[in-house]
Amino acid sequence: MRYITNCAATSCDKTIHDKTSPDTHQVSSRYPVRVSKYYAGLIRHEGDAIWKQCMPDMRELEDAAQCPDPLEETSLSPVPGLIHRYPDRVVLLVSNRCPVYCRFCMRKRLVGCGDAPLGEEELKRALEYIAATPSIRDVILSGGDPLMLDDASLMLILSGLRAIKHVSIIRIGTRVPVTLPERITPELCDLLKRFHPLYINTHFNHPDEITADSSRACAMLAESGIPLGNQTVLLKGINDDAEVMRTLMTGLLSIRVKPYYLHQMDLVRGTAHFRTSVEKGLEIIRALRGHVSGLAVPHYVIDLPGGKGKVAILPDDVERTGEVLLLRTYTGERVAYRDVVSI
């Protein structure tokens, strides 16, 4: 008997094997394939931005050079299910299910494998570790997708965390508003708002994902007082284009979601065909900064291999001559700035 169970809403999922070729069965036996009915409905034609994110591709099997866990999450795990890399925050992997298995997922080694999300015993040990570590102020629920759990399981996890005094904020990383918006129910919102301050970071990658349904899901969460952020992954052939990104980031603001991170693709095995150069990401940030509302500009980050953590990178290459900095404006103009501190 496990306390932690998956949400019944997920039973409406349908796989779309009928649209795939026999080749892709080879891929799906290695990396699970699942596409929610809603998300499949967003596909307009084969090979579009939605299709590429969810349909298996033979190139996933050809990429054997990369490592399954380059960020060394496994070695940063003090107890099963918990990743503790930064002093004041931890990631708790509460689920290994998602409504859609994104082909570029950085946890491709874990998602969709086995049926147990986090057992009762593992949850107890993780909560004990957090309770015994007063430096932890921020707990990030991730997975898989935490909102794939049923409400009772979420209640159990969230109340366990809230019982720990030094846990100041709780964050949930979820793609459910994008891939299974019907899971955002009034009941779920009522439950979540009992655990404030609670933040949600969602994961939109393309303007086609901003629909009436995903907008409604975000509005319901925002109306429950939950600040919404977004983490986008920079994906070759999907959103590696300044115009697409401008439309996406400004579109997110209009549904009350603040762009938080733009992630350089991690060096995860099976995902090489999605990776762009870092220069592409910088070009996109350059095309955003100053040209659209500052609220629409995410931090462009690279999660360094070896568990060294995220670094934010900026397009302005700062050149210094003594106290003079040469900065580049959003129009590309170089401007000298005197870096003087007067007391």
> Annotated active-site positions, please?
85-86, 89, 98, 102, 105, 107, 266, 303, 310
Considering CB distances under 5 to 8 angstroms, the limit depending on partner class, which of ligand PLP, ligand SF4, none binds residue 310?
ligand PLP
Helices 242-254 and 278-288 pack at an angle, to 10 degrees, of 50
Residue 83: name its binding partner from ligand PLP, ligand SF4, none (Cβ under 5 to 8 Å by kind). Answer: ligand PLP
Those residues whose C-beta lies under 8 Å from the C-beta of residue 79, and which sit 6 or more positions away, are 122, 125, 126, 128, 129
Binding piece for ligand PLP, criterion CB under 6 A, among 82-90, 123-131, 234-242, 330-338: 82-90
Nearest residue to 94 via CA among 77, 69, 119: 119
31 binds ligand SF4 (CB under 6 A): no
**Contacting residue, 42, 82, 140, 172, with ligand PLP by CB under 6 A:** 140
Edge-to-edge strands, sheet with 324-328: 319-321, 324-328, 334-338
What's the rounded Cα separation, in Å, for the pair 194 and 27?
Answer: 42
Choosing among ligand SF4, ligand PLP, none, which partner's interface includes residue 302 (Cβ < 5 to 8 Å by kind)? none
What does the alpha-carbon distance between residue 202 and residue 190 come to, in Å, rounded to a whole number? 19
258 part of the interface to ligand PLP, by CB under 6 A: no
End-to-end CA distance of the chain: 66
By CB under 6 A, the residues from 87 to 146 that bind ligand SF4 are: 98, 101-102, 105, 107, 111, 143-145
In the chain, what's the furthest Cα-to-Cα distance?
71
Residue 86 in contact with ligand PLP, rule: CB under 6 A: yes
| Cβ 141 to ligand PLP shortest distance, Å | 11
**In angstroms, rounded to a whole number, what is the distance separating the alpha carbons of residues 340 and 343?**
10
In the complex, the smallest distance separating the C-beta of residue 231 from ligand PLP, rounded to whole angstroms, is: 8
Interacting residue ranges for ligand PLP, rule: CB under 6 A: 83, 85-86, 89, 91, 140, 310
